[in-house]
Structure 1
Amino acid sequence: MVNNREDFTLMHMNDSRLRWLGPVGLFLLGNVFFRLGFWLEATGRDMLHSVIVGLVAGALFWQLNRWIVLRLQDQLPGLERTPNRLMILLLLTPMLVSAAIFSRFAMHVFLGSREQLWLGLVDYVTSSGIQLFYHMVYFAVYEGWYLLLQWKQTYLEKEELLKAQWQSRFNALKSQVNPHFLFNSLNALSALIQESPNRASVFVDELSTVYRYLLQANDQELVPLSTELTFIDSYVHLLQTRYGKGVIVHKSVSPDQLNRCLPPLTLQMLLENAVKHNIVMASQPLCLEIRTTEEGQLMVRNNLQRKNASKVSNGVGLSNINAKYRMLTQHNILVQEDDTYFTVLLPLLGDLPARTGQFAVKQSER
């Protein structure tokens, strides 16, 4: 889940100073709390040896523990893997503590401040407590910093998702009361009533289906592909009633992908954009293709026949779709354009059979 590399680069830059000052501060803190009696009674030679050993060993194990924590964060990233990282650190702690104790003892022997070549039980237990404190500080500094950045990133992502959701609901609300869409639909209905009352009745049913789905879609973050396709059938019926043979839609969706999910109204926004920005005529039909790929993506493609080559779309519809996908999947939609086709590839999310929705039930009853 961790994608905010700028924060981690900044952390490592600031960490360069901490890696030098941290061992010094920890050495002073540990000696004040754990070895104050030694400093009040020790000779100058013993003090010098203690400072050398403390700072050298402190810097060495600061670097070692830092490396271990950062490697674990690379291999097990994210807040959800925090228990796994902490469990591994807990298992490694006894070995790291013992290594720190014996390395310090070896340095004392090398400097001549320890005459015996073995460490007594009392000294080992006392040193274990001190080193355990030191290692808890190492882990707390780097793991705590990491968790803070992770929490910050998660909070910002939730804020962006909430903003995208409200923007999507606002856009959906605008489309529900879009006067042009309603005006064109009513004009088409008026013509049908005189020409073909039976077709007019079907048109009313499809129009009510479209508006019912628009109302229901605001309450859902995801809908099954099958539900979205059923809605698109009604929406396409309205388009074809208005444009006749100027709109041609081909669907080729694998049955095993129908329970995969996507944000509601995604297909409607793509088809609406295609109709908005391209010439739609019976002699020059707009061909729309909706199909699934072998990679498990949904492809929506239309032939390019721009209404006005000098007019560039602001891409608001695609930006809204991409924002929702980015928040839900951490992946962007893929937009491809050449001289012939405009193509959008949409990731399909996992199956959610429990979210088939009331819309699909009502469609089956019609």
Structure 2
Amino acid sequence: MERPNDKWLQRIIIPVLLLVANAAYWEEYDSLWRYLGWSLVGILYVQLVWERLVEWMLKIRERYPDIKQTRIRIALTFLGYIGIAGLAQALFVAVASQTAWAAAPLTTREFIVHLLVGQLAVVVTGAVYETLYFLNKYRDAVQEAEIVQKVTLQNQYDCLKNQINPHFLFNSLSALSALISEDKQRATEFLDEMASVYRYLLQAGQRPLVSIQTETAFIRSFLHLLEARYGTALRWQVAISNDLTESMLPPLTFQTLVENALRHNVLLPDQPLVITIQSTDDGHVEVVNNIQRKSVQVQTRPTGLTDLIARYKALEFPRLVISDDNGYFTVRLPVLSKKQADALVNAA
């Protein structure tokens, strides 16, 4: 957690306040040197106590940083302020009253007054710090909400674009036309898969999360269509554990990663692109493809993986884990149980 910029407080405000406060007791000092000496001691004491208070503040902010945790953060922060400042003030006043430097022993009333003044100063200063922190967090939340709104609108557009993608439709119809003249049985199967794909695309924008079983059924149909187009240049495998079929993830996740692999890699019959969608032992899903990058990349608007990461963030999902090594590109997808997914959607 980054420390607030409080050099102005330490170097200017605290020394000036201590000099003014000690000037109020000028009559109790028998010399200018005693006044300056006690002022210097006071400045050093306040600096030391303030460092402890800032450490406590940062510790609580690190544990409860979110704007939704403001109440508990404020409560714990100020309880710490009161405890630290109260103990420090009590020790300082007690020691000061027993030293030869003190102008006169402090009475109980004066002790309480010093204690309350210290507490008031800490509470007021702490309130200013917390207000600034809250305003910064609120500003960040507003900016993030605007980003999420833009991403949501872009996702809606992308979903609509996917539903009527003319290139995909043209390629699918071309493959279907070829199959009709070659193998009517395969053409019928292809048409069924095509209908399944477009049915899913039409429904994808209507729900934030779908089951892995539903997403898997869709991606199998989608890969069958791609297989008819690319032939032996594309190989694929889907192996999802039965334990994860009811788990949830954003719709079109698998399609996005498959298209990302197609966009960036070469597909040739003697150099096939191999895509594997599989579950892991620790309850995640991985989408893996071998890396055989195109020598020339087409420059387009950032899509695919970038948008998918933004979608996961907008839904407050755990982060994707992406690795690019040993000749394989792997995206590790977090999934939610049905209960977790329901809670997430209801909270949104």
- Does 2:310 align with 1:323? yes
- For residue 343 of structure 1, what is the amino acid of its counterpart? F
Q: C-alpha distance in 2, partners of 1:321/1:99? A: 52
Q: Which residue of 1 aligns with 2:335?
A: 349
Aligned 8 A contact 2:264 2:297 in 1:
no
Alignment of 1:1-366 (within 5 A): 8=2, 12=4, 14-24=5-15, 26-27=17-18, 31=21, 39=24, 42=27, 45=30, 48=35, 51-52=39-40, 54-92=42-80, 93-94=82-83, 96-110=85-99, 112-116=101-105, 119-120=107-108, 122-280=109-267, 285-305=272-292, 309-312=294-297, 314=299, 316-327=303-314, 328-329=316-317, 331-338=319-326, 341-352=327-338
User: C-alpha separation between the residues in 2 aligned to 1:74 and 1:160?
Assistant: 24
**More displaced 10-residue stretch of structure 1: 178-187 or 134-143:** 134-143
2:145 and 2:130 map into 1 onto residues whose CA distance is 22
Q: Partners of 1:293 and 1:39 in 2: how far apart?
A: 72
2:46 partner letter: G
Asked if 2 retains the 8 angstrom alpha-carbon contact of 1:260 and 1:348, the reply is: no
Distance 1:304 1:345, change over 3 A: closer
Q: 2:290, 2:328 within 8 Å by CA — same for their partners in 1?
A: yes
Shift of the 46–325 alpha-carbon distance from structure 1 to 2, 3 Å rule, reads farther
Q: Secondary structure at the match of 2:336?
A: coil
Gaps of 5+ in 2: 343-348
Residues 69, 142 of structure 1: 8 Å contact kept? no
* Matched residues, number: 335
In the alignment, the residues of structure 2 paired with residue 275 and residue 63 of structure 1 have an alpha-carbon distance, to the nearest angstrom, of 56
**Change over 3 Å in CA distance of 1:45–1:153 after alignment to 2:** farther
Q: TM-score, normalised by structure 1?
A: 0.75
- How far apart, in 2, do the equivalents of 1:135 and 1:174 lie? 57
Percent of residue pairs identical: 30
Q: 1:103 to 1:284 in 2, by over 3 A?
A: closer
Report deviation, 1:266. 1.9
The higher-RCO structure (CA 8 Å, 6+ apart) is 1
Question: Conserved in 2, the CA contact under 8 Å of 1:224 and 1:355?
Answer: no
**Do the aligned partners of 2:289 and 2:330 also contact (CA within 8 Å) in 1?**
no
TM superposition shift of 1:70: 1.7
Report if the CA contact (8 A) 1:288-1:302 is conserved.
Answer: yes
Distance in 1 (CA, whole Å) between partners of 2:24 and 2:10 is 25
Aligned equivalents of 1:207, 1:160: Cα separation in 2: 34
Q: 1:98 to 1:246 in 2, by over 3 A?
A: closer
What is the deviation of 1:106? 2.6
Compute the displacement of 1:235 (Å): 0.9
Cα separation, partners in 2 of 1:196 and 1:55, compared to 1, 3 Å: same
AA paired with 1:336? D
Question: Shift of residue 136 of structure 1?
Answer: 0.6
Instruction: Name the aligned partner's letter for residue 55 of structure 2.
Output: W
Q: Write the distance in 2 (CA, Å) between the matches of 1:305 and 1:98.
A: 66
2:274 aligns to what SS in structure 1? Answer: strand
Partners of 1:266 and 1:228 lie apart in 2 by 8
Instruction: Mark the CA change 1:61 to 1:273 in structure 2 (over 3 Å): closer, same or farther.
Output: closer
Query: Is the partner of 1:115 in helix, strand or coil?
Result: coil
The 1:194–1:279 alpha-carbon spacing in structure 2 relative to 1, beyond 3 Å, is same
Q: Secondary structure at the match of 1:288?
A: strand
Q: 1:352 is aligned with what amino acid? A: K
- The verdict on how the C-alpha distance between 1:310 and 1:197 changes in structure 2, with shifts beyond 3 A counting, is closer
**Structure-2-length-normalised TM-score:** 0.79
State the superposition RMSD in angstroms: 3.5
Q: Go from structure 1 to structure 2 and tell me whether the alpha carbon gap of 1:62 and 1:302 turns closer, same or farther (over 3 Å shift).
A: closer
Deviation, 1:182, is 0.8
- Does the 8 Å CA contact 1:66/1:138 hold for their aligned counterparts? no
One-letter amino acid of the structure 2 residue matched with residue 351 of structure 1: S
Letter in 2 for 1:344: T
**Structure 1: segments with no counterpart, 5+ residues:** 357-366
